Amino acid sequence: MVLLLLEVENVKKWEDEMLLVAKNCWEKHKVALLIFIIGFPFVVQLVLNIFNLFADINSWSFKFPDSSNWIGFWGSYLGVIPSGLIVYYVANIQINQQRENDKELIFKPARPLFKILYSNKIKWEDTSQFQSFSPEENLQEGTFGLDFRNETVIINNISDNSLLGIKIFVLYGNNTYDIYNINKLAGENGIILSDMKSHVDKIVIYFNTRLRELIRLTFIQKEDDVLEYCREDKFIENKDKTFPTINTKYTKYDEKYSLNNFVQSFRE
């Protein structure tokens, strides 16, 4: 699978290089190219007329057909240009779409599936084997001396795929947040995020798959204490490409996600 991914990437790299060369050539010489494409039939016709003129003067037996016989040919020539451009445009879209589909077939099987719960930790005795993490300290002013709540966030990985380099932002309703860093959440395992300082408003999770695809998922707290997946705010690197994203709601969180100097949060 990795070799196939590398092959797809190499083909994409070559195509991108060729496209860049063609684009640079067009940008630098577009006027000359347009003049050549449009003027070429007229220049050829002029040369043929001059040749026929000399043929008449010198009584040569060979002559090119009259210009009227060339009208159909040159009309077809000029008509082929826009047709060719349209065909190229459509083919390029189809090739890019097929390339994206091929990459998706590679990346999709590596993506994990997990459940996320917001609940009083006393109620979840079956999570006794899950590791519990505390947030990074001193991220916001005015959080010292607070009584931590009994509520916790439980993330249960119900797939065989691991989450790697996990950074979790727990956002509270008072515009503060906590950050949890976890190196790895293996398949069929779970973690508990403890030491909540307030009622959770939203949770933003960043992680990498085993194919090093970056994913960002958002869960919003509902009135019945259910964390609901926010589909429209998801980011999947293979599909969405640009990171940090242009979504201003996530800019400050996107910029904080990096595996450089990544330190795991304290485990209780």
Task: Write out the DSSP string of 175-241.
Answer: S-EEEEEEEEE-TTEEEEE----S-EEEEEEEEE-TT--EEEEEEEE-TTS-EEE-GGG-EEHHHH-
Q: What pLDDT does 11 receive?
A: 58
Q: Can you give the pTM of this predicted structure?
A: 0.66
Residue given tokens 């916790």 in the structure block: 152
Residue partners of 159: CB distance under 8 A and separation at least 6:
112, 113, 114, 187, 188
Farthest CA pair distance, the chain: 110
Low-confidence ranges of the chain (pLDDT < 50): 2, 138-147
| 244 cis-preceded (ω within 30 degrees of 0) | yes
The answer to whether the CB of 99 falls within 8 A of the CB of 8 is yes
Pairing of strands 151-157, 189-193: antiparallel
Helix, strand, coil abundance in the chain, percent, nearest 5: 45, 25, 30
Q: What pLDDT does 146 receive?
A: 46
Q: What pLDDT does 246 receive?
A: 79
C-alpha angle with apex 244: 243 to 248, nearest 5 degrees? 135
- Convert the pLDDT of each residue in 179-233 to its tens digit: 999 999 999 999 999 888 778 899 999 999 999 999 999 999 887 778 899 999 9
Q: What pLDDT does 133 receive?
A: 87
Q: What pLDDT does 207 receive?
A: 96
Q: How big is the chain, counted in residues?
A: 268
Cα distance between residue 171 and residue 256, in whole Å: 14
Task: Tell me the two tokens of residue 121.
Answer: 């930790």
The answer to whether the CB of 163 falls within 8 A of the CB of 130 is no
Q: What pLDDT does 8 receive?
A: 54
Containing 57, the helix (H) or strand (E) segment is helix 2-57
Q: How far apart are the first and last CA of the chain?
A: 38
